[in-house]
Amino acid sequence: MKLSYVAAAALAGVANAIPTITATGNKFFTSEGKQFFMKGVAYQLLPDDPLVDTEQCGRDAALMKTLGANAIRVYHVDPKADHSGCMSEFADAGIYAIIDLDTFNTYILPDDPWWNSTQVAAYGAVMDAFSKFDNTLGFFVGNEVIARANQSQAAPFIKAAARDLKAYRDNKGYRKFPIGYSAADIAELRPMLQDYLTCGGNNSEIIDMFALNSYEWCDPANYNTSGYANLQSMAVDFPVPMFFSETGCNVPGPRLFEDQAAIFGPEMINDWSGSLIYEWIQEENNYGLISYGPKVDATATGENIAGGYTRKGTPLPVTPDFDNLSKQWATITPTGVSLSAYDAKHVSTRACPTSTAGGWLIDGNVKLPAVGETYSGSYTASATATSSPETTGTGSGTGSAATPSSSNNPAPVNKQVAGMSAGLVGVMLFFTLWL
């Protein structure tokens, strides 16, 4: 009896297995050697951790599968919680997860950045919690840390975080989860930031994937008028996978999601690895693909009610947005290239950008801050961070609202006022709406 139980459990494990994902060159590949393209959604029902309610995850995963999704992005999790039920539900639906490593009190501050052992330990704890799941795709060390033109001094700290979490991953013997960064679409900084995070020639110090939160395609638009042609021009043969970690402009609405045909079409398919739509749950910002019932009074309280919206239950498609996205994804079936046929030599490592007056503040391939260092006021080829005590604070500042500066990017203004993901703005809104 005992032997048959063990055998049954082993067979169940095989049945529930899902291929793992790695990054090679500028593409993602499954462990079966197939190129992987993301069709995903941002998933954060609650501020602390949406991956702890197995029944809710099962309901959501089933509808996401119907939608055509194969990935979720989760901004905040509790590393001490049990995520096995939810991750199994998503794996059974063929859905992978990208997890943000920072927490409310450990994110990298844009105006006064530091990197210390408290942050390393907190980020590492999140990685520990998700390293055992085959459908963990990768991790972000930051989300929109740099959201204004004068905040690029934080870039070396983002890169240091990637360096130390890659070392943590390797020292722990985990598989090569891609470690990356999710950037705000700031026209004056985006080209320099993406190049800086992958420059220098030291693979242990660069990010493994670069993601962009972009809302440039607002209906009516096309590949050229939206600004996507410009994004593509800076993505050609980029050295690591690049994808949209948030997209889906809702101005004027309803959303048609016609940008998906461009992202997965001949113009962009060779250099982009898909997109994540913002967001799953309907909130005041009107970016939701589903709701859990009608809006309630903003002052209403309850176990699963906050900010005027129910946060749990049977997911109900928001029309026509849900159907519009489903129809778009149903027509998109990219096959890409197999790992055995892929030659990564064609990708190009970019030069480290030089500083510019009133813009990019990092001059060349500066020395990255070590653990326990804080910003000293300048970043040139010969100046870097200075040592500070390990007791330096871990991110309790209030920050200020980001002002998107891309002329083609009006949508984030709405999202950052009421959305869940916009760096410091999102953090402050969490505390305002949830505590």
The string of pLDDT tens digits covering residues 172-183 is 999 999 999 999
Res. 380 pLDDT band, cuts 50 70 90: low
- Choose among 211, 189, 196: nearest CA to 42: 211
Lowest mean pLDDT among 189-193, 307-311, 417-421: 417-421
pLDDT of residue 415: 44
* 390 catalytically annotated: no
pLDDT of residue 16: 53
pLDDT of residue 46: 85
pLDDT of residue 235: 96
* 144 catalytically annotated: yes
- Choose among 92, 97, 87, 89: nearest CA to 40: 97
Catalytic residue among 89, 205, 216, 246: 246
pLDDT of residue 69: 98
Res. 306 pLDDT band, cuts 50 70 90: confident
Q: pLDDT tens, 146-164?
A: 999 889 999 999 999 999 9
pLDDT of residue 188: 86
Burial (CB count within 10 angstroms: exposed 0-12, middle 13-18, buried 19+), residue 100: buried
Q: Which superfamily does 26-434 belong to?
A: Glycosidases (3.20.20.80)
Q: Considering the chain, what percentage of its residues have pLDDT values greater than 90?
A: 74
Torsion angle (degrees, nearest 10) of CA 4, 9, 14, 16: 140
Between 428 and 127, the more confident residue is: 127
The residue ranges of every structural domain in the chain are 26-434
Residue 89: alpha-carbon gap to chain centroid: 21
How confident is the prediction for the chain on average, in pLDDT? 85
Burial (CB count within 10 angstroms: exposed 0-12, middle 13-18, buried 19+), residue 201: exposed
pLDDT of residue 386: 42
Whole-structure pTM value: 0.87
330, pLDDT greater than 90: yes
Q: Considering the chain, what percentage of its residues have pLDDT values greater than 70?
A: 83
Res. 59 pLDDT band, cuts 50 70 90: very high
DSSP 238-267: -SS-EEEEEE---SSSS---THHHHHTSTT
391, pLDDT greater than 50: no
CA angle 337, 338, 343 (to 5 degrees): 75
Tell me the average pLDDT across 164-176. 98
